Structures are given as C-alpha cells and as structure tokens.
Amino acid sequence: GAPRDLAGRRIVVSAGGTREAIDPVRYIGNRSSGLQGYSLARTAVARGAEVTLVAANVTLPDPAGATVVQAESTAELREAVLAAAADADVVVMAAAVADFRPSTRHESKIKKTDGEPEAIPLTKNPDILAELGELRGDARARGAGHPQVIVGFAAETDDVLANGRAKLARKGCDLLVVNQVGRDLAFGTPDNAATVLAADGDAVEVKRGPKDDVADAVWDLVAARLV
C-alpha cells in the first residue's frame, strides 16, 4: 500500500482548465483534461491527506475521499483556492489557468455580421500561484500563519529547465513541476514525463509513465518539506 506520510495533512489541489465567458454560449478555454490534478488528489488521499480538489471544467469522476469544489472561471477558481488555502498545509496549482479573460462578457450572443468581426478586448487575470506565495510571505513577515508548501506547474516547449528555474523564482513556490509539451505528452493523455524542480536546488526527473508517477514524485518531495 501507499505510505501514510501525508496523514492528517490538509491539501488543496486545483485541476482542469478555467474558461472565460465571451458571451452566454462561447468561452476562451484550454485543453487541460484534469487527469494530472485528479491523479494528485487520488494519490494524496491514498497517502492519508485530507484533500480539497478545486475542479475547473473536468469531466472525470470525483476521486473517492476528496472534497470536490467546482469552478468555471479563473475568478471562481481563485475564490475557491484562496478560501481552502487559508488553513492548508500544501497547495498544488495543477490547473491550467487562463492568462487573459474578455474584458466584458456580452449579455447576449454575439451575432454574425457581414463585415469583419469586432475584436474581443482582453484583460489580464490575477496569477493565483504568485498570490499564494505573496500571502505566505506576508503572513511570515507578520509572524503569523503557518508553514505551507506551495507547488506550481509549468508547461514549456523550449529551454524547459532554464525557463522552469526562472518561473520557480518568479512565482515564489517551493516546487515546480515542469512538463515538456508538444511530444504527445501532458495535455489529455494518460502519460506524462516531467522534471520537478525545488527552490532549494533539488531536481527530480520522472520518466515517461502514468500520471500517478509524477504525482507520487511530487508527494515524496512535499512530504520531505513538511514540518
């Protein structure tokens, strides 16, 4: 059986991909299936954790033993993650969060016109992962809060490790799971291959295999960093 090294730990995992409404029938979205996030939730439950899974537009069955909260947009995902993160020991942002949203949501369906279509102005979304790092930093500075391990994901196509190291520093997280995308891996496939980078310098490579392999490598590194 699985080690019980996460027993009693409160863990938040976000999974899937956020959708930003353009009008009542259309949205900007992404190809995230939620498989990696669900694998993280399932394996954390198996290792004894109390898991809150914030799911964005995932069609997979709820993992047994996890509390599942649904979110559609980035704003909803942010609310749910920050609420659950307030007393969590670990937060893992596996969701693919839309970087931009349409600046306004049309109340009625946009009609087809004869001429060129109107442009859709975009607004930048808040970076939830960076915000979690800042909240933790603020709490530490006040001598408040409690230690929290923060884990991010990154999908890169080029200079995977160098970009990953830079992102890890920029976002202020403890671990960053870097996926190479584009080689029929990561999005929508049952398999994954990744390098998990740690802020303290560690790097663990997970060879191509089931997404549970990446999840267990993440939990091994997390368990070693919990106080």
Applying CB under 6 A, does 178 fall inside the site for ligand C5P? Answer: no
Applying CB under 6 A, does 33 fall inside the site for ligand C5P? Answer: no
Q: Residue 171 to residues 5, 65, 71, 201: CA-CA distances in angstroms?
A: 27, 30, 22, 15
Applying CB under 6 A, does 93 fall inside the site for ligand C5P? Answer: yes
Q: Catalytic residue among 30, 125, 163, 179, which?
A: 30
Q: Is 57 a catalytic residue?
A: no
Cβ(64)–Cβ(45) below 8 Å: yes
157 or 189: CB nearest ligand C5P: 157
End-to-end CA distance of the chain: 24
Residue-by-residue DSSP string for 63-105 = PTT-EEEEE-SHHHHHHHHHHHHTT-SEEEE-SB--SEEESS-
**129 annotated to bind ligand:** yes
**200 annotated to bind ligand:** no
User: Between residue 140 and residue 159, which ones bind ligand C5P under the rule CB under 6 A?
Assistant: 152-154
Cβ(68)–Cβ(27) below 8 Å: no
110 or 161: CB nearest ligand C5P: 161
**126 annotated to bind ligand:** yes
Applying CB under 6 A, does 127 fall inside the site for ligand C5P? Answer: yes
Applying CB under 6 A, does 95 fall inside the site for ligand C5P? Answer: yes
Report the alpha-carbon distance of residue 189 to residue 173 in Å, rounded: 26
* Least distance to ligand C5P, CB of residue 187, Å: 13
Two tokens at 37?
């996030």
Cβ(57)–Cβ(72) below 8 Å: yes
Binding site for ligand C5P (CB under 6 A): 93, 95, 97, 99, 125, 127-129, 152-154
Known binding positions for CTP: 99, 109, 126-129, 153, 167, 171
* Catalytically annotated residues: 30
